Structures are given as structure tokens and as C-alpha cells.
Amino acid sequence: MITWPALIKHDGEDELIYIESQRQWLIDEEMLLYIFTERDVLIDASGKVYSLSVLQQNINAEQYLAIASVDNLLELVRAHAAISQQCCIEKIFCQTTAQAIELVKQLAD
């Protein structure tokens, strides 16, 4: 079961997409109609990494691919921040998965 909020990471892209809740996911027509690749993933607040193509068919799928480490998430957040050019990426730090997701939300605001 997905622990919200979560991040979407498209294969080959540094941009991360913040998703607040399952409700936001379900009402976003773009998410429902987008054709995801096998390597597009959703990373939830507990660090579980889900296949977006599987979730698109069943949002309640419990099968996840892996658990992302905080260090891996930090790398993703820094790459995301670098393309947005909003801050110095060396100053970005987090200790938990939830903090990493919150940083992406703050960068989007």
C-alpha cells in the first residue's frame, strides 16, 4: 500500500513530480492517460519504489520493486534541484525519505 505523499520519477529525466495524495493521483487526467514505461517509478514516503505502469492499472497494488535509500533519494532531489536552478545543490540535505519528498514539494512552490 502506498504511503502518501510520493514522487514520480520518469526514466531518463531528472525532474521529479510531487503527488500529495491518492486523491490527487486519481483526479489527474494526465496521470491516468500517460503511457508509462517499465522504468518509470513512484517512490512513496516510506521509500518503496513502485512501477508506474502497474499502479496505473491498479493503484492499490501492493507489489513494489525495491526500497530506495535516503542517499539515493538525495541524489534524485539534487538532480531535480539542479534543473530548476533554485538553490545550491550542495546545501540540500535530508535524513529521511519523507524529508526528501518534502524538499521536492518546497522546490515546486
**Which of 55, 100, 52 is CA-nearest to residue 80?**
100
Q: Where are the alpha helices (DSSP H) in the chain?
A: 22-27, 29-33, 52-57, 70-84, 97-108
| Block residue for cell numbers 503527488 | 19
Q: Is residue 30 predicted with pLDDT exceeding 90?
A: no
| 35 contact partners, CB below 8 Å, separation of at least 6 | none
Mean pLDDT of 17-42: 87
pLDDT digit string (tens) for 38-54?
Answer: 899 999 999 999 999 89
**Amino acid in the structure at residue 6:** A
Task: Please tell me the distance from the alpha carbon of residue 49 to that of residue 108, in angstroms, as a whole number.
Answer: 21
9 three-state secondary structure: strand
Per-residue pLDDT, 18: 95
Task: Please tell me the distance from the alpha carbon of residue 96 to that of residue 77, in angstroms, as a whole number.
Answer: 12
pLDDT digit string (tens) for 70-94?
Answer: 999 999 998 998 887 766 667 788 8
User: How far, in whole angstroms, is CA 17 from its chain's centroid?
Assistant: 6
Per-residue pLDDT, 59: 84
Mean pLDDT of 5-33: 89
**Is the pTM of the predicted complex or chain greater than 0.85?**
yes
Mean pLDDT of 53-68: 90
Every domain of the chain and the residues it spans: 6-108
Task: Please tell me the distance from the alpha carbon of residue 88 to that of residue 79, in angstroms, as a whole number.
Answer: 11
Per-residue pLDDT, 81: 87
Per-residue pLDDT, 3: 95
Q: Is residue 108 predicted with pLDDT exceeding 90?
A: no
